[in-house]
Structure 1
Amino acid sequence: MAQVLAASAVTAALLAVPSAATADPGAPVVVAANALPVVIANLQAWVMGILAAIATLFLVLGGLFRATAGGDPAQVDKANGYFKNALTGYGLAVLAPILLEVVKGIVGG
């Protein structure tokens, strides 16, 4: 208990004492942002990766439902729906670069 109180007292004392700022006001400010083409390229990679991952998940689930359907038409229809969603996801992943080029043209990058 005494150790906790001592540590708390030291922490409170250190926080109570103001410290001087060491920033140089004359130095130029450097912003760490990327240029617009770099941001769009990074966005393109992320979008394509996420869409491909989700489409792969739907493809695996569709295959799982198809394999375990056992002739049940409802399960087969459910599996076919997952296959259609996977196809849509892969199509969007392929079209992502084109859509991002349109966005780049609109934004002016």
Structure 2
Amino acid sequence: MDNEKQYFFDKPKNIQLILYLLYACCGVLVVLDFVIHRHVYHSWENLPIFYPIYGFVGCVILVLIASWMRTFLMRPEDYYGPVEAPDNSKIEIIDVSDGHAKEANNNNEGDRNVDA
């Protein structure tokens, strides 16, 4: 377990760093919204922080529409057929605890064993 490879997102310090960078980018974009001149087509686009509000409202509407669509697009759990219990009649349990492996006879008709 000590030799497991550590990935970038395994460390909480790196996750905090990514979050701080994301917050900084959001802050810079809000500040730039007041500085950069935009060529607008509609008067409401001149409102401060119009585009972040517009994006947030769009995402909320998207989630609400997806929740509504789920009611008629959702399929029942057994849509592709009933879930059957596995057929354990063909499985042979081999006791190898004594050090001598017994040969398993799983070559039933219809089986596709390669090394038979």
Q: Given the two structures, how large is their TM-score scaled by the length of structure 1? A: 0.31
Larger Rg: 2
Q: Given the two structures, how large is their TM-score scaled by the length of structure 2? A: 0.30
Q: Which has the higher helix share?
A: 1
Say which structure, 1 or 2, has more relative contact order (CA 8 Å, 6+ apart).
Answer: 1
